[in-house]
Structures are given as C-alpha cells and as structure tokens.
A = this chain, B = another copy of it.
Amino acid sequence: MNAEIVCVGTELLLGETLNTHGAFLSERLAAYGIDVYHHVTVGDNQGRLEDALRVASRRATLVVVTGGLGPTGDDLTREAIAAVTGRPLVLKEEVLAAIEQWFAERGRTMAPGNRKQALFPEGSHVLPNPNGTAPGFVLEWAPGRWFVALPGPPRELRPMVDGPLRPFLERWAGGRARLVKRVLRIAGLGESEVEDRLADLFARQGEVTMATYARAGEVHLRLATKASGAEASSRLDALAAEIRRRLGVHVYGEDDESLEAVVGRLLRERRESLAVAESCTGGRVADRLTNVPGSSEYFTAGVVAYANQAKVLSLAVSPHELTAHGAVSAQVARAMAAGVRRIYGTHWGLATTGIAGPGGGTPEKPVGTVYVAVEGPGVGRVERHRWRGDRDTVKERSAQAALFLLYRALSGQA
C-alpha cells in the first residue's frame, strides 16, 4: 500500500494559508508503515481537481483528500470523487439529521447548502466530525484501492485521523511492521558536532535509521525502526544508550519533553524553587518556564532588568560592579543570579545579560555576546557565549543556554 495526499483549496495556492496537512498526514501514515510518494495541492476548480484525483488514484492505492467538503458551491471534493470513481452521490438520512441537530443545538437554522454535506459517493463509510458540520468518508472504490476525504480545518481533520480513521489505518497497516520512533533532544551541540561524534553510527545504520533535525537552539536526533513493540523498544533502547554514552549531558530528554519541562520536573522532584533575572532575553526564560503546567509550584518570580537602574534596584547588583565591568559581564551575570536568589529566597537563581542587537555592540563585546549564570546550593557557574544571528535568534539561543546551564546544575553535571 502506498499513499498520495491531495490538498484542495485556492487559499493554499495564494500563499495565504500555510498547508500543514501534508506533514501531519505523512507522519501518521509513516507510523503505520504506509509510504507516501506525492503531495499535491490544487485549487477549488472542478476540472483540475478531477485531473489531480485521477492521476493520484492511478499511482497510489490510498488517496487522502483534504478540504472541499464545506456547504458552498466552491466545495467540490465529494462531486469530484464521485465523478472519478463513477459512484453516484447518495443522501444519508442519518447524517442529514445529525447536521440539522448540530445547528439546532446552537440555536441556528441549517442553510440549504449544508444539505449536500450529507451526500456521499455510494458505498462510502462515513467519518463523523465532532468539531464541525462536514463529515469525512472512506471509500474502497476498487478492490484494494481507497479514497479518504477529510475536512480542511486542522482542528477538525486531526481528531478525525486519530479517531474514526484509526481502525482503517490499522487495517491498511495489516501485519506490516509499524515505524516506531524515538527523538533524543540534544542541547549545547550543533548539528554537525552531533553528526561528527556519531559518524560511525550514522555510517553503519541498519535496522534503526538515524536523522538529525536542527531546531531552535537544539538538535533533535530521530531514531526509527520498523518492528513490533517489544522488538522495536529493545532496538531503540540499545542505540539510545550508546548515543547517551557518547553525548553525555547533552542529551537532556526524549520525544515531546521540552527543556523547560525537564528542568521543571527536576525542580519538583527536589522540592526546590527558582527565580530568574533576565536582561537580554527580556522575559523569554520566564515565559518558557511558565509555559509548563504546574510551574507555579517551583517558579517564584522573574525580573526583567533591562535598565541598569533596574539591575541595582531589583537585583541588588552593585553600581560599582556595573561601572567596573559593564552590564554585559561575567561579574554582573553572577551578581544578578545571586541577587534574585537572595531577594526571593529561592534555592536557585538563573540570570542572562548580553547584547541582543542590532545596536549596542562594541569591538570587545560585539552583538551576540551573552553571559548566563546560575547560583544554587553549593553551585555557582557562569558561561560566555557569542551567538550569530538576528535579535530573535540571540534571545532564543540565550534563553536555551540559560535553561541548559540550569539543567546541568540540577542534574549535578554543571
């Protein structure tokens, strides 16, 4: 079985809406071992849509179509699939009743156009849509050859793929081995450094494939293998252990757990608290830490001390140190971390100070020069970094470096 994804919508061809369906559906299909060879996007035009579906249905056994299931005259997907497969559209009374009820529950009257959302190519299996009026459908139009139609809005499509479409995905996957993945999240090393340190593993990858992805301030190393659950786990465990041995503290977590979530977990386990003093990151460290549900248990306070006056007033940095070393210095970074820790009475203090740019650089301290510091029980560390890139990049990298420094301190590896 192999698949093609056809996305329908003129707005996608105008560049005003980013198409995320290709990536989402491909990732899900890959998990079931179904290869995808083509993504195609076409507008709300009957002729071009039918042509695209005809080509797709010839070269793929499974064609997933997104969009064009709405109530307007521009919504042509059901008509086009009917035309291409030669299946007439038939009305499903129970679906019509459900759509009428959807409107009634909201105190509205169903528009006449919505009636066509209860029409399906003969032989279709309906996929209910809990978040909208457009149901999807699955049609085996010839033996072993399938069309799937899903609505365009991602918040309608995604739950349908993970809900009512799932039994079909499992059926299509059949006995075929599923692709099982694990992502190792790596901080403090660039993509090429990761590849260099693991060069021999990359060269001889076999049952488990490896790929690196550069993400904001970190690298994601994806391990994937086609095998049943227990066999897959044991293969991934073995390789992950070898990679962790080579990269050490740089592998801070796995899969969807962000650096701020890992730091939060460690603080909660230790029943310790944290306060943050930020200059160049301007609140981004605090924002990331407080994105984690339950962070109020360990995050006490943050200070964004942008002006020197604020560093003195809120963090008890001495005016003498500011004058002697400058606001962007190791001494001031440490004083900020120690000051915020002392003032709020927390176990840990974390600080950033630097030049985010585009202005403010000097020959000794060019734009992108940043100090991050941590102070905690028996621990005091400061690091100097030099980032290249625009203001947002400097803020992002600096916030990441600060959180990674705290992570190492919390895990006894600073």
Given the known inter-chain contacts A13-B26, A16-B27, A17-B23, please indicate yes or no for A303 contacting B306, CB distance below 8 A: no
Asked if A22 is at the interface of the complex by the 8 Å CB criterion, the answer is yes
User: In the complex, A288 Cα to B39 Cα: how many Å?
Assistant: 36
A368 to chain B minimum Cβ distance, whole angstroms, is 14
Given the known inter-chain contacts A304-B302, A306-B290, A306-B299, please indicate yes or no for A39 contacting B25, CB distance below 8 A: no
A103 to chain B minimum Cβ distance, whole angstroms, is 14
Asked if A238 is at the interface of the complex by the 8 Å CB criterion, the answer is no
Which one, A30-38, A74-82, A167-175, A373-381, is touching chain B? A30-38
Q: Which of B12, B282, B293, B343 contacts A286 (CB 8 A)?
A: B282
Asked if A206 is at the interface of the complex by the 8 Å CB criterion, the answer is no
Chain B residues whose CB sits within 8 angstroms of the CB of A281 once the complex forms = 287
User: In the complex, A38 Cα to B28 Cα: how many Å?
Assistant: 24
Which one, A143-151, A249-257, A309-317, is touching chain B? A309-317
Which one, A40-48, A116-124, A132-140, is touching chain B? A40-48
User: In the complex, A182 Cα to B250 Cα: how many Å?
Assistant: 46
Asked if A217 is at the interface of the complex by the 8 Å CB criterion, the answer is no
Contact A306 B313 (CB under 8 A): no
Closest to A282 in B: B290
User: In the complex, A406 Cα to B360 Cα: how many Å?
Assistant: 27
Given the known inter-chain contacts A283-B285, A289-B282, A306-B300, please indicate yes or no for A15 contacting B19, CB distance below 8 A: no
Interface residues of A in 385-399 (CB under 8 A from B): 391-392, 395
Chain B residues whose CB sits within 8 angstroms of the CB of A287 once the complex forms = 281-284, 286-287, 395
User: In the complex, A25 Cα to B26 Cα: how many Å?
Assistant: 22
Given the known inter-chain contacts A283-B286, A304-B283, please indicate yes or no for A13 contacting B40, CB distance below 8 A: no
Contact A301 B304 (CB under 8 A): yes
Closest to A39 in B: B41
Asked if A202 is at the interface of the complex by the 8 Å CB criterion, the answer is no
